[in-house]
């Protein structure tokens, strides 16, 4: 409950900073407010897919189903945040570059990333053998992770319309925008953690329900 | 036009999060109900 309260408070601060505190950007103008609702879910989705990788390795190592359930949860939530990233990015691209989709390297690799993890979810939904689902689901979760790295590095590998904000020397933006992005990252990460916990509880309860039904039939 | 874009992004962002949270809560309620029914059936069997 304390964590929930802190998350609600930081989320309100995030809303305040995004819409009121952050000044319009010199180049982007008011559209800079999209940035905080685009970059934060993108980075959090990368973290969630990192969790999928970790859960996959842990399941293959320990063979404990809880890692498989957690891995599936991180895929679902990673897809949710990637969807938010893609849609908000399309609106931003339309405003900044005149068209919602440019087949820019970052856009294309993020779309491939989305399709790859959606395929894993589709695979998991289609296989009834619990052990096979867990084993191959874990392997696919590990195999798909390089796509996350490629999506992140795409703006450095290929020529792109995407601005490079995170440089080795630091963030290339105004102090107010940097502070807002930091709060955005904390808020979205905390929201994602709450969703992971809730989703894990739901899927564990569903697993128990399926097991009881299987035993009875 | 700019305000429409900002509003659309806010709807996608918060709408996505709250819709998923609502889905999770409804699913949780549904599964808990089914679990209670199935568990009472198991006790009945015994």
| DSSP track, B2-28 | HHHHHHHHHHHHHHHHHHHHHHHHHHH
Q: How far is Cα of residue A102 from the mean position of the Cα atoms in its chain?
A: 22
Whether residue A205 and residue B2 make contact (CB cut-off 8 A), yes or no, is: no
Give the gap in angstroms from C-alpha A33 to the nearest C-alpha of chain B. Answer: 7
For chain A, the residue count is 217
Distance CA A98, CA A93 (A): 7
Buried b (16+ CB within 10 A) or exposed e, A158-179: eebebeeeeeeeeeebeeebee
Residues of chain B positioned with their CB less than 8 A from the CB of A29: 2
Which of B2, B4, B9 has the most A C-beta neighbours within 10 Å, making it the best mutation to test the interface with A?
A: B9
Give the chain B residue whose CA is nearest to the CA of A87.
B12
3-state DSSP assignment of residue A167:
strand
> Is residue A164 within 8 Å of residue A156, measured between CB atoms?
yes
Q: pLDDT digits over B2-46, tens only?
A: 788 888 999 999 999 999 999 999 999 999 999 899 888 888 877
Q: Which chain A residue's Cα is nearest to B24? A: A199
Question: In A71-93, which positions are buried (b, 16+ CB within 10 angstroms) versus exposed (e)?
Answer: bbbbbbbbbbbbbbbbbbbbbbb
Chain A residue numbers touching B21 (CB-CB < 8 A): 195, 198
Domain residue limits, chain B: 1-46
The string of pLDDT tens digits covering residues A108-150 is 999 999 999 999 999 999 998 888 999 999 999 999 999 999 9
Q: Is A83 in Cβ contact with B5 (below 8 Å)?
A: no
- pLDDT of B1 above 60: no
Q: Hey, what domains does chain A have and what are their CATH numbers?
A: 2-216 (1.20.120)
In Å, how far are A20, A31, A92, A189, B36 from A24, measured between CA atoms? 10, 8, 15, 25, 54
Select the residue of B1, B13, B38 nearest A37 (Cβ to Cβ).
B13
pTM of the model: 0.92
User: Could you tell me the pLDDT band of residue A168, with boundaries at 50, 70 and 90?
Assistant: low
CB contact under 8 A, B20 and A206: no
DSSP A25: B
Instruction: Write out the two tokens for A148.
Output: 């996350």
Q: Which residue has the tokens 């008011």?
A: A30
Other C-beta atoms closer than 10 Å to the C-beta of A34 total 26
Location of structure tokens 């491939």:
A112
CA distance A148 to chain B (A): 21
Residue A164: pLDDT over 80: no
pLDDT exceeds cutoff 90 at A214: no
* Tokens linked to A184: 């955005």
Query: The tokens of A15 are what?
Result: 């809303």
Residues of B with CB under 8 A from a CB of A: 1-2, 5-6, 8-10, 12-13, 16-17, 20-21, 24-25, 27-28, 31-32, 34-35, 38-39, 41-42, 45
């Amino acid at each position: 409950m304390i964590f929930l309260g802190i998350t609600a408070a930081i989320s309100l601060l995030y809303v305040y900073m995004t819409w009121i505190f952050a000044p319009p950007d010199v180049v982007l103008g008011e559209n800079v407010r999209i940035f905080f609702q685009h970059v934060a879910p993108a980075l959090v989705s990368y973290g969630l897919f990192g969790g999928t990788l970790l859960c996959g390795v842990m399941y293959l190592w320990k063979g404990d189903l809880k890692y498989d359930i957690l891995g599936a949860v991180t895929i679902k939530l990673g897809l949710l945040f990637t969807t938010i990233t893609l849609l908000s990015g399309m609106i931003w691209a339309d405003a900044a570059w005149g068209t919602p989709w440019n087949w820019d390297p970052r856009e294309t690799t993020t779309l491939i990333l989305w399709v790859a993890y959606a395929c894993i979810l589709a695979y998991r939904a289609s296989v009834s053998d619990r052990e096979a689902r867990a084993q191959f689901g874990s392997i696919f979760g590990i195999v798909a992770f390089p796509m996350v790295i490629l999506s992140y590095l795409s703006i450095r590998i290929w020529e792109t319309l995407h601005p490079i904000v995170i440089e080795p020397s630091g963030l290339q933006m105004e102090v107010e925008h940097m502070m807002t992005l930091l709060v955005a990252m904390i808020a979205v990460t905390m929201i994602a953690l709450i969703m992971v916990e809730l989703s894990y509880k739901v899927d564990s309860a569903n697993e128990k329900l399926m097991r009881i039904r299987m035993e009875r039939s | 036009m700019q305000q429409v874009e900002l509003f659309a992004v806010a709807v996608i962002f918060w709408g996505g999060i709250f819709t998923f949270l609502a889905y999770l809560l409804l699913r949780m309620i549904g599964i808990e109900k089914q679990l209670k029914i199935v568990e009472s059936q198991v006790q009945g069997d015994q």
